[in-house]
Chain A
């Protein structure tokens, strides 16, 4: 059924975003500048991966082919992933990671708070749970973007460079395709333009406090939501999927 395949695609987009970003953030474990930040990053990664299980288990149920969250996470190749390109960008320095996190958190919190009122009960339940966790993520990443942006000359320069680097990857979050518009008309997901309004408001306010300037360019990368990825995703999957590829069905 067409309607189900739209829902399946949307759930993959949500689950793949949290899975890939969760994995990226977990790469910091043991490498952060200070212990508290190491713990915070690991906790954020844990929340995101926990949410991935809820999104991808639901995706598997909608698909109806017996795939659960593990099967979807570990046994799909790059072209079957539906995450936005922003979340597969490499971690860079600590400021890069925080800027990527902030741009994502501002979107994720805005869409989750609306998905909590979805016409689909299970999406509403997942979103109502996840939005409470995302509120803490956004509070933290926004706070650090301001501290580092409005910090020393060096930290300011690094945060501006991070913003310039990631900005062309933000448009994809709001670029509605036929899957999005169909689900919006069914009341399953919000209108992405509304999500953009809230995101703009949050991002403009925080970046102004951080004394950072939004870059001029209008070019925006896209394709991740439809399965066209950058080279980085393959490298992530190589590491993340190794065990299930080498030892299929291995369990803890």
Chain B
């Protein structure tokens, strides 16, 4: 036996809240909203994870990081299950995660505005000078989840974590 007792799922969630997102390391996997469920099934811990974007290369790393973090805490019998439904949305990113993201220089997504092809462009404030005078450069930025903006006041280019 590696452990005398099974850690609670709340405890495990806390541990996973210390595992950084591979792309935006200031926020955790829990902040990102990809951990959908944590459940003991007998002696086996089942963690249900949903991918952000279908082709996001970080998905494999995320699973590996979860497993590594839990093994470091002495949990050996781990099953990571992928779920597609309900589909991940940026609305699941935590308030704490949004604050950290902004401080890091990435503008967090606006809540409740998951994109449709006819939705108006969101008003995105510059994370450096707070100006609303910004311009969308491209819907597709440094990763699939971000779009590129430029501030017309301080001229800084920056990322906006787009709604999906």
Contacts and interface: CB of A to CB of B under 8 A. Distances in A.
Given A47-B55, A50-B55, A130-B54, A136 B86 contact: no
B87 A132 contact: yes
B53 A47 contact: yes
Contacts of A50: 51, 53-56
Nearest to A55: B54
Give the interface size class of chain B: 20 to 34
Interface of B (DSSP majority class):
loop
A124 B141 CA distance: 28
A51 B137 CA distance: 26
B55 A135 contact: no
B41 interface: no
Interface residues of A, number: 31
Interface in A148-206: none
B64 interface: no
Interface in A43-73: 43-44, 46-51, 53-54
Interface stretch (B21-29, B30-38, B93-101, B114-122): B114-122
Nearest to B137: A36
B141 A54 contact: no
Contacts of A243: none
A208 interface: no
Interface of A: 36-37, 39-40, 43-44, 46-51, 53-54, 109, 121-122, 124-126, 128-130, 132-133, 135-136, 138-140, 142
